[in-house]
C-alpha cells in the first residue's frame, strides 16, 4: 500500500513538472490547439456531461436565477436524506429553517431509471476586492452530471420536472402575504410597489368554518377545481380567474371564509380599499401590480362604491363652508384641489373594467372576492355571472354550523343540551359570531355545560327580543294603518262637506236674481265644469 502511494505520488509530481514545463517553454501559439485536442480526448474517454446552474445571472450577474432557486428547493426536499453534510438556512420568504446540502456535497438522483448526480459548488474568487455584494466573491452554482447517452431526456424532460417540482415546493413553503393598497398620496417614486404587505397568518380553515357541510364541500371543490384548471381555461379562451360574491348579515363569516380560501389554496391576499384609490387608472395599476396565485378582496362593496359619492358630497359641503378661506389661499393650491376633486373617484364602469377588462388576464390564477351585507343594493351589472361567478350566502347559525363551533371552541361532539340548542336555533336567528362568543370559555377550566347554558340563555333572550320586536313592529304597523284609515276618513268627510257646501251655494246662485258670480267657489265650479268639457 505504502509502495503504491509512493508511486502515485511520484506520478503526480511528474505530471506537475511536465505541466509547468508546458506552461513555461511551449510556444504560446501551439498551446491553444493542444488544449483543444486534449479536451476532445478527455471527452472521448470521459462520457459524462456537466451542466452548471449559477446562482446569479444577467449581464452584470446581479439577477438571482429562478432556476437556481427551484433547483435548490427540489434538492432540499429530495437530497437531505442522502447528504452527510447539511447546511441550515432560513430561505427568503419563509420563516422555517430549511436544510440543504452543504458546499461540495454530492447527491444522486434517479429519473426514469437514469442515474444522475447533483453537486453544490462555490467559486471563491482570488481577487482582492472589497464589495458590498457577497456574490462578487462567492459564486455558488449547482452542477448536474449525467451520461451523455441520456442527454435528450435530461435536458428536456428531467430539467422541466425539477423546475416544476421546485416551484411547487416554493409555493408550499413560502410565507404568504397580506397586501393592502397604499394611499395614493403616500406613494413615492422610489417605492415601486403600490401595495404594502405583512405576513398572512390567519388560522381559519374550511374545517373550522361553521356552515352547512354540503355547501362547504361544494365551495371547496369549486376552489380546487379552479386552481387545477389552467389548461381548461386556456382551452375555452377565458382568463384564468374566478369571482366570488359573499353576502350575508354581519358576523356570519364572510371575512373568515376569505382567510380559509387563502389557506386552502395557499394564495396571497390583496385587500383592496377602494376608498383610497384615486381613480380608475390607479385601480388598473393596482391590479397589474398583483401577483398570480392571489385573492383580491373588496370588502363591503356596497359601502365602498357609495362612499365615493358621499366623499364628493362631503367635499362640496366643506368647500362651501370654507369658500372665503379658499379665496385667500394660493391660486396654485386651489387649482390642485380642483384637479384632485375632479379625479378622486372610482366609477362602477371602472370597477367592471378592473374585473373583466383585458388587464385582468395578466398573470392569471386570480380569485376576486366581493363581500356585502346587502346584496340587493348592488348593481346587477356588477354581480352578473361571468364577473361574480359564484354567489355564496352566509347566513345565521344552523344546527350543523353550531356543531362545528362546539367542536372548535369546546372540543365536544355531542352533549345533552345540544337538542335544546338545535330547537332554539331553528326558532331564532343568531349569527355564528354571537354563538361563538357564547361558547368561548370565559375562564380557564369552565365546563362545556356552563358555556352551553350561557348560549341557551342568550338564544332565549334573542328569541324574546325578536318576539318583542315583532310585536312592536306589528303594533306600529297597526297604528300606521289606523292613522291612514283615519286620514282617509277625514278626507272623505271633508270632500263630502265641500260637496254639500257647493250644492247649497249653487242653490243660492240659482235663486239670486241678477246671476252675478259672487264668490270664488262658484268660479271654481265653473272651471271644473269646463275641465269636464261641460260648457257653462
Ligand X SMILES: Nc1ncnc2c1ncn2[C@@H]1O[C@H](COP(=O)(O)OP(=O)(O)OP(=O)(O)O)[C@@H](O)[C@H]1O
In terms of CB distance, is 144 or 369 closer to ligand X? 369
Residue 211 sits in the site that holds ligand X (CB under 6 A): yes
In the bound complex, what is the minimum distance in angstroms from residue 216's beta carbon to Mg ion? 18
Part of the chain binding ligand X (CB under 6 A), chosen from 149-157, 177-185, 252-260, 463-471: 252-260
Residues 6+ apart with CB under 8 A from 473: none
Part of the chain binding ligand X (CB under 6 A), chosen from 78-86, 155-163, 203-211, 286-294: 203-211
Each residue 421-440 as x (binds ligand X by CB under 6 A) or -, in order, gives: -----------xx--x----
Residue 373 sits in the site that holds Mg ion (CB under 5 A): no
* Chosen from ligand X, Mg ion, none, partner binding at 436 (C-beta under 5 to 8 Å by type): ligand X
Give the other-Cβ count within 10 Å of 185's Cβ.
Answer: 9
Part of the chain binding Mg ion (CB under 5 A), chosen from 38-46, 248-256, 379-387, 430-438: 248-256
In terms of CB distance, is 258 or 283 closer to ligand X? 258
* Among the listed residues 428, 354, 440, the one whose alpha carbon sits nearest the alpha carbon of residue 397: 428
Part of the chain binding ligand X (CB under 6 A), chosen from 34-42, 206-214, 339-347, 500-508: 206-214
* Among the listed residues 168, 173, 156, 162, the one whose alpha carbon sits nearest the alpha carbon of residue 67: 162
Say which residue the cell 336555533 belongs to: 425
Residue 360 sits in the site that holds ligand X (CB under 6 A): no
What are 415's three cell numbers? 352533549
Using Cβ positions, the residue closest to ligand X within the complex turns out to be 253
Residue 227 sits in the site that holds Mg ion (CB under 5 A): no
Contact 277, 180 (CB under 8 A): no
In terms of CB distance, is 255 or 276 closer to Mg ion? 255
Part of the chain binding ligand X (CB under 6 A), chosen from 44-52, 232-240, 247-255, 264-272: 247-255
Kindly report the length of the chain. 536
H/E stretch holding 106 reads strand 106-111
In the bound complex, what is the minimum distance in angstroms from residue 274's beta carbon to Mg ion? 15
End-to-end CA separation in angstroms for the chain = 145
Residue 243 sits in the site that holds ligand X (CB under 6 A): no
Say which residue the cell 472521448 belongs to: 44
Residue 255 sits in the site that holds ligand X (CB under 6 A): yes
* Chosen from ligand X, Mg ion, none, partner binding at 350 (C-beta under 5 to 8 Å by type): none
In terms of CB distance, is 154 or 245 closer to ligand X? 245
Residue 251 sits in the site that holds ligand X (CB under 6 A): yes
Q: How far apart are CA 130 and CA 137, in angstroms?
A: 9
H/E stretch holding 324 reads helix 323-328
Angle at 456 between CA 454 and CA 461, to 5 degrees: 95
| DSSP bridge partners of 393 | 247
In terms of CB distance, is 253 or 350 closer to ligand X? 253
Contact 283, 351 (CB under 8 A): yes
Among residues 253, 277, 369, 421, the one that binds ligand X under rule CB under 6 A: 253
Among residues 72, 79, 252, 428, the one that binds ligand X under rule CB under 6 A: 252
In terms of CB distance, is 227 or 255 closer to Mg ion? 255
* Among the listed residues 87, 84, 105, 264, the one whose alpha carbon sits nearest the alpha carbon of residue 172: 264
Q: Reduce the DSSP state of residue 90 to 3 states and report it.
A: strand
Say which residue the cell 398572512 belongs to: 200
Part of the chain binding Mg ion (CB under 5 A), chosen from 24-32, 65-73, 246-254, 315-323: 246-254
Using Cβ positions, the residue closest to Mg ion within the complex turns out to be 255
Strands of the 177-181 sheet, one edge to the other: 195-199, 177-181, 268-271, 294-298, 366-372, 241-247, 390-393
Among residues 80, 121, 175, 255, the one that binds Mg ion under rule CB under 5 A: 255
Q: How far apart are CA 45 and CA 406, in angstroms?
A: 72
Task: Write out the residues near Mg ion by the rule CB under 5 A.
Answer: 254-255
Task: Write out the residues near ligand X by the rule CB under 6 A.
Answer: 209-211, 250-256, 373, 432-433, 436
Amino acid at each position: 500500500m505504502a509502495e503504491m502511494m509512493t508511486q502515485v505520488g511520484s506520478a503526480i509530481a511528474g505530471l506537475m513538472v511536465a505541466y509547468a514545463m508546458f506552461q513555461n517553454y511551449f510556444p504560446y501559439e501551439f498551446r491553444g490547439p493542444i488544449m483543444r485536442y486534449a479536451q476532445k480526448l478527455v471527452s472521448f474517454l470521459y462520457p459524462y456531461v456537466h451542466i452548471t446552474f449559477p446562482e446569479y445571472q444577467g449581464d452584470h450577474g446581479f439577477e438571482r436565477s429562478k432556476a437556481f432557486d427551484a433547483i435548490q428547493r427540489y434538492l432540499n426536499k429530495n437530497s437531505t436524506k442522502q447528504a452527510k453534510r447539511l447546511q441550515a438556512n432560513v430561505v427568503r420568504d419563509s420563516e422555517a429553517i430549511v436544510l440543504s446540502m452543504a458546499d461540495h456535497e454530492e447527491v444522486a438522483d434517479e429519473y426514469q431509471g437514469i442515474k444522475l448526480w447533483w453537486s453544490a459548488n462555490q467559486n471563491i474568487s482570488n481577487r482582492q476586492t472589497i464589495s458590498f455584494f457577497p456574490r462578487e466573491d462567492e459564486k455558488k452554482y449547482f452542477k448536474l452530471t449525467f451520461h451523455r447517452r441520456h442527454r435528450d431526456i435530461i435536458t428536456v424532460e428531467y430539467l422541466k420536472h425539477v423546475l416544476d417540482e421546485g416551484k411547487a415546493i416554493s409555493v408550499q413553503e413560502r410565507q404568504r402575504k397580506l397586501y393592502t393598497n397604499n394611499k395614493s398620496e403616500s406613494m413615492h417614486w422610489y417605492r415601486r410597489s403600490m401595495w404594502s404587505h405583512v405576513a398572512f397568518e390567519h388560522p381559519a380553515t374550511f374545517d373550522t368554518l361553521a356552515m352547512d357541510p354540503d355547501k362547504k364541500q361544494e365551495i371547496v371543490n369549486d376552489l380546487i377545481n379552479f386552481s387545477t384548471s389552467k389548461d381548461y381555461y386556456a382551452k375555452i379562451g377565458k382568463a384564468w380567474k374566478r369571482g366570488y360574491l359573499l353576502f350575508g348579515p354581519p358576523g356570519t363569516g364572510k371575512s373568515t371564509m376569505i382567510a380559509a380560501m387563502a389557506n386552502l389554496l395557499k394564495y396571497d391576499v390583496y385587500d383592496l380599499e377602494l376608498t383610497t384609490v384615486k381613480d380608475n387608472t390607479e385601480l388598473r395599476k393596482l391590479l397589474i401590480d398583483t401577483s398570480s396565485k392571489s385573492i383580491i378582496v373588496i370588502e363591503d362593496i356596497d359601502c365602498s362604491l357609495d362612499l365615493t359619492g358621499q366623499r364628493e358630497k362631503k367635499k362640496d359641503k366643506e368647500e362651501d363652508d370654507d369658500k372665503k378661506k379658499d379665496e385667500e389661499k394660493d391660486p396654485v393650491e386651489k387649482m390642485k384641489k380642483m384637479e384632485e376633486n375632479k379625479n378622486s373617484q372610482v366609477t362602477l364602469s371602472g370597477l367592471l373594467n378592473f374585473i373583466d377588462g383585458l388587464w385582468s388576464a395578466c398573470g392569471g390564477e386570480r380569485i376576486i372576492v366581493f363581500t356585502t351585507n346587502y346584496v340587493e343594493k348592488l348593481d346587477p351589472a356588477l354581480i352578473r355571472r361571468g364577473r361574480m361567478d359564484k354567489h355564496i350566502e352566509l347566513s345565521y347559525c344552523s344546527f350543523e354550523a353550531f356543531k362545528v363551533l362546539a367542536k372548535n371552541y369546546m372540543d365536544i361532539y355531542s352533549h345533552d343540551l345540544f337538542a335544546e340548542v338545535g330547537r332554539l336555533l331553528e326558532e331564532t336567528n343568531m349569527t355564528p359570531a354571537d354563538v361563538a362568543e357564547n361558547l368561548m370559555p370565559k375562564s380557564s377550566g369552565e365546563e362545556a355545560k356552563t358555556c352551553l347554558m350561557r348560549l341557551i340563555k342568550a338564544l332565549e333572550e334573542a328569541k324574546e327580543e325578536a318576539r318583542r320586536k315583532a310585536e312592536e313592529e306589528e303594533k306600529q304597523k297597526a297604528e300606521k294603518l289606523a292613522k291612514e284609515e283615519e286620514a282617509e276618513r277625514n278626507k272623505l268627510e271633508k270632500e263630502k262637506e265641500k260637496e254639500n257646501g257647493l250644492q247649497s251655494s249653487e242653490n243660492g246662485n240659482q235663486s239670486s236674481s241678477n246671476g252675478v258670480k259672487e264668490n270664488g267657489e262658484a268660479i271654481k265650479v265653473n272651471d271644473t265644469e269646463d275641465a269636464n268639457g261641460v260648457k257653462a
